[in-house]
Structure 1
Amino acid sequence: MRHAFLRFALLSMLAVLCAGLVAGQATMTYGRIEGQAKDQTGGVIPGVTVSVTSATGTKTMVTGDSGEFAFPFLTPGVYSLKAELEGFKTFEQTDISVRLGGTTTINLVLNPGEISEVITVTGEAPLVDTTTTTVGATISDDLFTSVPMRRNFTNLFNMAPGVGDSGSLGDNNPSIGGASGLENNYIVDGVNITNTGYGSVGAYSNVYGSLGSGVTFDFVKEVQVKQGGFEAEYGQSTGGVVNVITKSGGNEFHGGVYFYGQPGGWEARRKQTNTYRVSDGTEIKRNESFDVSADLSGYLWKDKFFFYLGFNPQWNTITTMAPAGIGQWVDPGVGFFDREDNIYSWSAKATWVPWSNHNFEFSTFADPSNRAVGPNRGMTSKGDDNYSGLAYGSWNWIARYNGVITNNWFLTASLGRAFNRFEEQLLYMERIRYTNYIDFAPALVAMGGVGFFENNNGENWQFNVKTTFNFSAGGDHTWDFGYMYEDVGYTAVRRYTGPMISVPAFGNFPGLTTYGGTFRLRYYTIPGSGGQYWDANGDGVITKADALLQQIRGNANDPNIETKTKYHSFYIQDAWKITDKITLKAGLRYDWQQMSGGGDNAITYEFTNNWAPRVGLIYDLFGDGKTKVFGNWGRFYQKIPNDMAVRAFSSEDGVTNAWWYVNYDAQGRPTPGAFAQPDMPSPPTVTRTGANPTYVVPETKTMYQNELVLGFDHQLNPTMSFGMRYIFREVGRMLEDVGTLTVNQYIEDSEYFTYVIANPSFSSDYVINDTGEIGSDGLADGFADPKRSYNALELTLEKRFSQGFQFLANYRLSKLWGNYEGLYRNDNGQDDPNITSLYDFRLDENLLYQFTPGYLNTDRRHTLNFNGSYTFNGGFTLGVGFRSTSGAPITKLLAHPAYENSGEIPAEPRGSEGRTEWINNFDVHMSYPFTFGDNYRLRFGVDVFNLCNFKRITTVDENYENAPGDLNVDYLTPTGFQRPFNMRFSVRFEF
């Protein structure tokens, strides 16, 4: 299949190069300079020779009949421009800043005179991009290397407006524009590195979250966070698009060796949740990290062939401590254990410029990593039952051609591959995982083996092609056509630790053999007895000998699942400059996704008719490129991660609610004994899940979101700009798996509970209500309309670097309201995009406030960011970073009455329990260079994080119940605090 894909991609590229007529999608990894040559009277001047020069050489073109010129495919950086024509003085402009994904417009006015006379303009390129309606931020290495910043490049995202806390997903996958953290699209050097299984950045595990990002801080040149208003060229996101480019070579050699150290002793004492909770968990005592980085950039052939090479090994250690009385680890007296991650990141890029306006580029980067064997799931078992090691990371590459075919026709095409993997290497496969409801009730502790684990790898072959035409017809037009194809293979190994367990036939349950399972060690409460426990051994006394193992989960299908996705996108867009002040932008995008499951009963389904119109209007208020008023409306579709293909389009036969007598081994570990259900009074029903193939309701479509952006940008002076914008987003349709039963129907008769894939709403009619069978009975099924609306007002203030000073500041006032978070569900921590438990049951009284709109989990009413630096005479740099965020809404959550999982059902309107505290962080960066000769520097630096040592509560336990009727004694107690004061030092040798 891969060979066929390569043949397809190469033939397509040849067709494009020969015909010049393409439709396509290509991600923008460059910037652009454009303008129009005019004389002093405002008349256009054709035939002007215009050239731009940077560290990678010079590009030249001649203005056409309308006097226009455009230089696409420019590597972000600083450029100079020259314009020459006989009869006019030569025009030169220096210090022109080109930013990633941006267009710098030059007002080129030629004066009559001798060509030998030169008029030089410095630093007057407008800061406001009057060609785009995109809102967000572009952050260059000039800024982010001069302010306090963690070493992971994903920490850069928080500098942009509209980026917020995603809850339990962590900083690597932020909430952008009110979306959940699994709805963003991550692009590095044109490679879509978004995890194919879950929609995260880089390698991902549904147990450990994001692990690695594919590229590290030192390799990054510039980051663009697109929050909204972006053109039809960009898709696959209902959150944001994060566009990153890595460093490149040039006509000068640069490089260095860098060392960063963050000793554990440079961190203040942490505040521990165990101080406030009955249920103790693993404590993090300290975190230390060290890394060495080396890079070299330059040329092999001046003006023709450039390169960049970088290597950055990192060693991170987190010292953890077992809960009191639970663990016996390295030192039985204190229970400490060091969790070690070793990361070996590298990056390489080569650029060949055979002709002035044509280049070929190859970029590759990777972060192979491993974590040492240990209690990586948390130290909650005696011995080493749950010991495991991890291997994870990614490897990505892309090859691209960029060409200016004529002054009015540009072409780019690329072929790439993104690969990531996660593997958990278990020490003991045969040990079951169980929650002890006996010795530790009512404070619960998970014991035993690892339990559920999923190893996965994803491969995404990508082909992109885009062409641009400039022409005049009732104004100036820039037409873009694009096509993108992705061929995804995603493999998951999903199972539970423990032995093979044969669940016998019982009632309507046919009998199945499962691959291990997860359990609860508990007493059985006899229904209708007023809370009386069953005396399982009949000795007249309730003791530990009467405890049973309740099997909560167990999968019976082949754990190895191979899935596929084919994804096609087409788009067309036009930027029509109607007058010198008014630009109309209109585009249309079409996405088509075919998804296939694996194993027996696997299905294939095509998600079609995903038409995404975009329309925007830009008004250059004074016609000088320094002030714009703009608006944009668009529709945005998600790309469905392959986790749905694994769990819904593949076989997922399983068992829940089987009860077993208990055997104990020589170490006191419980294991399943005889099947207990036939002996139990009023025995509970054994439930078979996923027995039937998943049914996709005909005409089911992909989730989409509508968006409106209104904005105003103004250049205050040559180096400072101000922006204000209003953003409204609303989910128009959701894609989910929905159950066919109500909770009451499930409890009464649930042997063959069935899910369907659909677009649920208040008017949905997929189910025969009385029986729960799939079909239409002319009655609404009892679902609710999905609601997620986001309103935000943002203010931005940016100062480009000049006279040693630069900063980026922004403030957001926002409201996130609804009943549907998105592809990630913080209520129960579920990272199953499009197949969460939210719509698993039709509405009845058991679901309480499940679908009542309220403040969603990632709602943060206020967010304030400031990042800036000042470099004094002599080279000393002082940088500061400040972030202040208002608290998260708190909701009382009950356990699910059918699944018995905690964190499922809101007992009251969302946010009724108030909010967590404001979170403030103030960080400082200081560095000083010692210079040797003209080209060598030894720079010493220190970064201080959380200078004020704030230790406020970040999260609280919102689970009012552990299981139905079992109250959680830790309700509303802290589950997380800010990381305290900590420091990092650095030594950098640079040339």
Structure 2
Amino acid sequence: MKQIFLMLFVCLYSAGAWAQSVVGSGVVRGRVVDQQGVGMPGAELSLENPAMGVTRTFLSTDDGVFEITGLPPATGYRLRATHERYLDWDGKEFEVLAGKQSSFDISMRPQDSTAASADAPADVQLDGSVLPVGVALSQRQLQLLPTQQRRWDSLVLLSPVTTFDLAQNALAIRGDSAGNAYFTDGILTSNSYSARRSVATGPVSQDAVQGIEVLAADAPVEFGHGKGGAVNVVTRSGSSQLHGGLYEYFSNNSLNATDRYALGNQLFGKRNQFGFNLGGNVPRTKLFYFTNLEIADGHGQRLNRITNPLLTDSTGLSVDSSSCTATAVQCASAARFIQNQMNVLVPRAERNISGLARLDYRRSDRNTFNLSVFATQARSPLGLQSQAVSSNGGLLDNGTAKQDTQYARLEWISAPTASSTNEMRLGVFQDRVATLPTASSLSTGGIGINLLGSSIGASNQDSGIMRERRYQFIDNFRVSVGAHTIMFGADVTRTRDWIDTLPNAKGTYYYNSLTSFAQDLASGAGKNYTEFTQSRGLSLRRLPSSEFGMYAQDIWKVTPNLQITGGLRYSKQFIPKPTAWDASYYQTRQIKSPSYNADPRIGFALKANERTVIRASFGLYHSMQSGELLDALFTGNGAYQPSILAYPTQSGSPYFPNSLTARTAPSGTGNLMYESGKPSNPYTRQATLSLEKALGGGFTMNLGYVGSRGLKLRTAEEVNIATTTKKVTYTILDEDGSKSGTYSPYFYRYRLDTTRAHVYEVTNGGSSWYNAMVAELSKKMTHGFTAHISYTWAHAIDDVGSPLVVGGLPVGSSANDFRADQGNSANDQRHRAVIDWTWQPRVIKSESAAARFLLNGWELSSVTTLASPLPATAMAIVLGQQFSGVPSAFANSLTGAGGWSRVPFLPVNSLRGDNEYSVNARLARPLPFTERFTGRLVFEAYNLLNTQFNTNVNTAAYTVTNGIFTPIASAGTGNATRGYITGSNARSLQVSFRLNF
């Protein structure tokens, strides 16, 4: 097998990909040369870190190349080089970061030389290797930078080409929040069921994190499982000295500003976060340990508001009944029903308990064994968890979500020879999510009600459990031969999703006017609704799947100043066959796993001089089929778990507020989903080009370009519509009521299969484009000060920004022409600048008590974000049948084909919120009680200047009645100030105390 990999590589390495560390650890590599610059074979490299118990020895190759991998991130490393008849080379202490290599060009001098032994240069030395776009965060940054609620994932946003996806409440890398992979210690720890992965599931406490590597573009071949970026968190390990700490972080409503949309209510409540950690080694052994336990408990409120301009007055305080043409009694009753849900405070409580234990047995310089175990249990409110103030309802009686996550990892790092390394990892991951809804207090019971886009019925109807268990085995073998460092590896996962849930089991009614809702609410058995949806059938299913990946990579040091690297990764997914199908649709009998998932990754690095490095790279990245999509194909065949779309005119449709009780859908109401005959897995083509330059004085500048092209993105095409030649013409009015234009689309009048509602074919019809220019300026630590500035100009475009149907698939606005929806992405943030710095000043050199307790030792740090707003798409509210005598295949849509009701004559994502200007700051006062015991009092402020900014806007831009587009005056006005960690970006403060030993 290795010979096959090597042959494949020889075909590839006319260019190269990237030289990087072992996943989840650090690497030290370089080249030993004589005074003439010729590589020296047989030089002995000795790397030591006494505090971590690390001792590694390697021999340089015939070309002088060496690589020492599998190093735990830490400070205090020191490298030495020896060779007979040459003076010893002795380097300075340095830090190894997670996912980053430390490179050394070692020049040996003969013993008869009058020069002393060499030492590491004082100023910044540039790495002449291919490097990724991203950041490598040290424990110092994790300790000193402000992080709200101690959530380390917020620091991912320090990396270029990242942003926050408002719609999904998730991190987005290169404009993509769905295709990213999250690892802990090199093991995949994100729930692969969901098509939208936000962060590592059940993230470990920040106090248990040693470092973070963010690979925003062109990750190496070891990283798979996603077409986007990768984030790997490395947990802490013990050291030779006993160390530990107790800590508590506290915040309450008196320390926080009021959200601008909270109507003067202070929603935060209070939050306590306390824990301890302990690390060290077992005396007279090579066994090191680290443990952490943390408990977080928060209480507060959320505000359920309805600010829909079609339902409420301009203040959002009362229902506007002027459009209601039902009887006065009926209109008043409907208004009271809605008014009782407006501006209602909803209690919020969340609790999280997490614990990590890690053992490191450093048996010798050739063998290291690591074992880590993690568990967490979290409870939080169901539904719209990211919002403190809901602008469109949905917060009432929504119950609790309980999540239990565990993982264990066993790793063996060995050095079979003096120039090779093997890393073997075995991981077990389990995630269990249970939804526990509260019984609805509404008179309509558990039925969902959507009125003009606002949720006024039961928020969450059904209990359910989703459990995922995954086994993962990884093995990487690296060997240095001459000027090459070659790696071979395999990555095997076995995943089992166990789902017991029936979404929308009681059904949801949709209304397009207050009048029709008032009539049905008053009668208690009406059919004035627009449409009705419901799921029926069996709730339990088991979905096993497997993924096999193999890869090879070569790092070729062509010359001392030129490195070329090339790699290839191939992945294959194995998925089960359906256990039931629809006899009328043969496509539902099978689900295919595409075989073409080959990902070459190539690139080069040229060190033009000691202060300038030019880098370029290119790679392909495939995503496998998510559990959510697999589940949708299983349950979407109409035989296992029928999904119903019913109109009031159809036979068998329900009367409000009843549910359908029969397992079989009435004729013409059942939806269907199947896969196309030749499916492909989505993938991206990623390219980078950068220039890094050392400016002197500890400053480094990096200028670069990042490009990403998404291809074969999964989409859902409506195939149950007949071809049409019929056109209709809509009239467009301006704000004064005058005609300003027309819109004339093709109109779809008939279904091909009248016994079905929607029939979706899963295809690869989507695409995306991402182009960015990146500028970074870094300042290494001098006089206790470090700084990093990152600026990204980016433009993200896609044609898959429409709402998602089951399986996480977009459905376009036109009849399967996704190009018609091409425009700015929802994550199109044109400008984003992040400035982070830390400073530990020493005011005076005195060691007096006054100097130690009052003047010296202060810690100051800040993260400042300056960013342009994210966009939103203007929507058309389609009110009823538009053209008399012209039937539609699917009612209440602009073209009769169903799908996305965006305003067709405005660009996609044409609405924008506010610019972001926020400063997070931290001030800490260490308290040196004794030489052994120290304290630390910390004050942190998030959005210190309280520059609240709108993150959501009212997207309802037009109503459409009888073929006429009428503008809504409030379109584009702000209605939410959502934050990433908490539900608001209003200023919040946090105080903490730590006792360390």
Same fold (TM over 0.5): yes
Aligned to 1:893: 875
Please say if 1:552 is aligned against 2:532.
yes
In the TM superposition, residue 561 of structure 1 has moved relative to its aligned partner by 2.2
Q: Return the letter of the residue paired with 1:979.
A: N
d(CA) in 2 for partners of 1:466, 1:30: 13
Aligned to 1:363: 372
In the TM superposition, residue 386 of structure 1 has moved relative to its aligned partner by 3.0
d(CA) in 2 for partners of 1:327, 1:218: 50
In the TM superposition, residue 190 of structure 1 has moved relative to its aligned partner by 1.2
Conserved 8 A contact 1:728-1:792: yes
Aligned to 1:706: 685
Is the deviation greater in 651-660 or in 952-961?
Answer: 651-660
Q: Counterparts in 2 of 1:377-776, with a 5 A limit? A: 386-428=397-439, 431-435=445-449, 437=451, 444-448=454-458, 450-451=460-461, 455-472=465-482, 476-496=483-503, 515-520=505-510, 548=528, 552-596=532-576, 600-601=580-581, 603-622=590-609, 624=610, 626-650=611-635, 651-659=640-648, 671-672=657-658, 687-691=668-672, 694-717=673-696, 719-742=698-721, 744-745=748-749, 750-753=754-757, 755=759, 757-761=761-765
| CA pair 201-366 structure 1, distance change in 2 beyond 3 A | farther
Conserved 8 A contact 1:76-1:100: yes
Aligned pair partner of 1:253 in 223, 230, 242? 242
| CA pair 129-457 structure 1, distance change in 2 beyond 3 A | farther
In the TM superposition, residue 446 of structure 1 has moved relative to its aligned partner by 1.5
d(CA) in 2 for partners of 1:756, 1:884: 42
**Post-superposition CA distance 1:759-811 (Å, at most 9, x none):** 445xxxxxxxxxxxxxxxxxxxxxxxx33211100001122333201122100
d(CA) in 1 for partners of 2:290, 2:924: 25
In the TM superposition, residue 479 of structure 1 has moved relative to its aligned partner by 1.1
Conserved 8 A contact 2:476-2:489: yes
| CA pair 801-739 structure 1, distance change in 2 beyond 3 A | same
d(CA) in 2 for partners of 1:806, 1:302: 38
d(CA) in 1 for partners of 2:394, 2:520: 29
Conserved 8 A contact 1:363-1:399: yes
Q: Return the letter of the residue paired with 2:260.
A: K
Which SS does the other structure have where 1:401 is aligned?
strand
Please say if 1:152 is aligned against 2:151.
yes
Aligned pair partner of 1:74 in 71, 76, 83? 71
In the TM superposition, residue 727 of structure 1 has moved relative to its aligned partner by 1.1
Which SS does the other structure have where 1:960 is aligned?
strand
Conserved 8 A contact 2:28-2:103: yes
Which SS does the other structure have where 2:416 is aligned?
strand
d(CA) in 2 for partners of 1:579, 1:189: 33
Which SS does the other structure have where 1:554 is aligned?
strand
In the TM superposition, residue 592 of structure 1 has moved relative to its aligned partner by 0.8
In the TM superposition, residue 547 of structure 1 has moved relative to its aligned partner by 6.0
Aligned pair partner of 1:983 in 976, 982, 989? 989
Is the deviation greater in 929-938 or in 265-274?
Answer: 265-274
Q: Return the letter of the residue paired with 1:341.
A: E
In the TM superposition, residue 28 of structure 1 has moved relative to its aligned partner by 0.6
In the TM superposition, residue 333 of structure 1 has moved relative to its aligned partner by 14
In the TM superposition, residue 66 of structure 1 has moved relative to its aligned partner by 3.0
Aligned pair partner of 1:136 in 129, 134, 147? 134
Task: Kindly tell me the number of residue pairs found equivalent between the two proteins.
Answer: 864
| CA pair 115-318 structure 1, distance change in 2 beyond 3 A | farther
Q: Return the letter of the residue paired with 1:222.
A: G
Q: Return the letter of the residue paired with 2:696.
A: N
Which SS does the other structure have where 1:251 is aligned?
coil
**Post-superposition CA distance 1:527-557 (Å, at most 9, x none):** xxxxx999999xxxx9888564666221122
Q: Return the letter of the residue paired with 1:575.
A: I
Is the deviation greater in 883-892 or in 593-602?
Answer: 593-602
Please say if 1:807 is aligned against 2:762.
no
d(CA) in 2 for partners of 1:981, 1:228: 33
Aligned to 1:505: none
Q: Counterparts in 2 of 1:74-153, with a 5 A limit? A: 74-78=71-75, 79-113=77-111, 119=117, 121-122=119-120, 124=122, 127-150=125-148, 151-153=150-152
Please say if 1:935 is aligned against 2:909.
no
Is the deviation greater in 737-746 or in 186-195?
Answer: 737-746
Conserved 8 A contact 1:496-1:518: no
Conserved 8 A contact 1:494-1:560: yes
d(CA) in 2 for partners of 1:212, 1:753: 36
**Post-superposition CA distance 1:683-709 (Å, at most 9, x none):** x99643345xx5433331101111221
Which SS does the other structure have where 1:320 is aligned?
strand
d(CA) in 2 for partners of 1:250, 1:757: 56
Aligned to 2:902: 905
Conserved 8 A contact 1:633-1:708: yes
| CA pair 436-868 structure 1, distance change in 2 beyond 3 A | closer
**Post-superposition CA distance 1:903-957 (Å, at most 9, x none):** 6434234357452221110121100111123232100010111111112211102
Q: Which runs of 5+ in 1 are unaligned?
A: 1-11, 17-24, 203-209, 276-282, 498-514, 526-531, 662-668, 676-683, 762-785, 822-826, 844-848
Q: Counterparts in 2 of 1:819-830, with a 5 A limit? A: 819-821=799-801, 827-828=802-803, 830=804
**Post-superposition CA distance 1:591-614 (Å, at most 9, x none):** 111223665337442221111111
Calculate the TM-score normalised by the size of structure 2.
0.79
Conserved 8 A contact 1:551-1:658: yes
In the TM superposition, residue 265 of structure 1 has moved relative to its aligned partner by 1.4
Aligned to 1:881: 863
Aligned to 1:354: 363
| CA pair 972-802 structure 1, distance change in 2 beyond 3 A | same
| CA pair 645-949 structure 1, distance change in 2 beyond 3 A | same
In the TM superposition, residue 339 of structure 1 has moved relative to its aligned partner by 0.8
Aligned to 1:198: 194
Identity of aligned residues (%): 17
Aligned to 1:510: none
The two structures, once aligned, show a CA RMSD in angstroms of 3.9
Please say if 1:51 is aligned against 2:8.
no
In the TM superposition, residue 428 of structure 1 has moved relative to its aligned partner by 3.0
Which SS does the other structure have where 1:980 is aligned?
coil
Is the deviation greater in 609-618 or in 58-67?
Answer: 58-67
d(CA) in 2 for partners of 1:398, 1:564: 21
Aligned pair partner of 1:237 in 205, 223, 226? 226
d(CA) in 1 for partners of 2:40, 2:384: 72
In the TM superposition, residue 337 of structure 1 has moved relative to its aligned partner by 3.7
d(CA) in 1 for partners of 2:920, 2:487: 43
Please say if 1:837 is aligned against 2:811.
yes
Conserved 8 A contact 2:466-2:499: yes
